[in-house]
A and B are shown apart, each in its own frame.
Chain A
Amino acid sequence: RKEVEQDPGPFNVPEGATVAFNCTYSNSASQSFFWYRQDCRKEPKLLMSVYSSGNEDGRFTAQLNRASQYISLLIRDSKLSDSATYLCVVNADTGFQKLVFGTGTRLLVSP
C-alpha cells in the first residue's frame, strides 16, 4: 500500500464549479499534513497546511480526519488558473521534516 494515496484524475470542471480532492495516508504516526500545487514541469508550491480543526484560505478549504487517516481539499468557484496537479503531502514519523508525496490529482478547469 502506498504511504499517500490520491485519485490521479483528471478532474475536468467548468469555471465556477466546486471540486473536492481526497487523500488517504497509511502512517498513523504522521504529524503534519499539507496540500501542494504543482504546475507542469515546475516545482511544487505550498498551497496550505492542514490542521485537525480544518482551515480555510480564500476559496480553498482543507480538512483532516485523523481517525480515518483522510485529508481533503475543497476548491470553490474554480478559476482557469487553478488548473494544476494537487499533491497531498504528509510528513513521515521520524519527527523530522521528511515529506512523503502523493502522486497528485490533476485538475483541469475549462471556460
Chain B
Amino acid sequence: GAVVSQHPSRVICKSGTSVKIECRSLDFQATTMFWYRQFPKQSLMLMATSNEGSKATYEQGVEKDKFLINHASLTLSTLTVTSAHPEDSSFYICSAGSGLAVTDTQYFGPGTRLTVL
C-alpha cells in the first residue's frame, strides 16, 4: 500500500512555543490530506481537510488561527500548533488520499505524539 510519513514522531515542548508537524506522501500524489487528533481513550477526531493549493477546511470547534495548515505540494502538508498549551497535548495523525471519490482509500501516517509541558 501507499506510504505516508510524519515528522517528528514525538515532540515535547514548553507551553507557548509553536510546533510544526510534517506529513508526506512518499509514493503517490495526495490530492487531499486530513489532520486528526486523538486524545487518550477517545476516537480520532477530524480537525481539518486540506487540498493542495487551497485553504484548509476546518471542522467545527477547531481554531484555524491556532492550527495552521499548509498544503503547498501534492506530497507535503504541514500542521503548525501555534502557542501550544498543555491541553493541546495529543496524538496528531495525518492521512492522505489520492483521489476524490468517497471510496478512495485514505492512508494514515504513523502519528506525532505532542506533549506540552
Instruction: Decide: A91 and B108 in contact? CB cutoff 8 A.
Output: no
Known contacts A42-B111, A97-B97: A104-B105 contact under CB 8 Å: no
Chain B residues 63 to 96 lying within 8 A of chain A, measured CB to CB, are 91, 93
Instruction: Decide: B102 and A91 in contact? CB cutoff 8 A.
Output: yes
How many residues on chain A are close to B (CB under 8 Å)?
Answer: 22
Known contacts A91-B102, A97-B97, A98-B49: A45-B108 contact under CB 8 Å: yes
Q: How far is the CA of A51 from the CA of B97 in the complex (A)?
A: 20
Instruction: Decide: B43 and A43 in contact? CB cutoff 8 A.
Output: no
Asked if A95 CB lies within 8 Å of chain B CBs, one says: yes
Q: How far is the CA of A31 from the CA of B102 in the complex (A)?
A: 8
Instruction: Decide: B105 and A46 in contact? CB cutoff 8 A.
Output: yes
Instruction: Decide: B100 and A96 in contact? CB cutoff 8 A.
Output: yes
Instruction: Decide: A41 and B102 in contact? CB cutoff 8 A.
Output: no
- Of the candidates B93, B103, B104, which one forms a contact with A43 in the assembled complex, judged by CB atoms under 8 Å apart? B93
Q: Please name all residues of chain A whose beta carbon is closer than 8 Å to the beta carbon of B108 when the two chains form the complex.
A: 43-45
Instruction: Decide: A41 and B91 in contact? CB cutoff 8 A.
Output: yes
Instruction: Decide: B103 and A42 in contact? CB cutoff 8 A.
Output: no
Query: Hey, which bits of chain B sit against chain A, CB under 8 A?
Result: 32, 34, 36, 41-46, 49, 91, 93, 97, 100-106, 108-111, 113
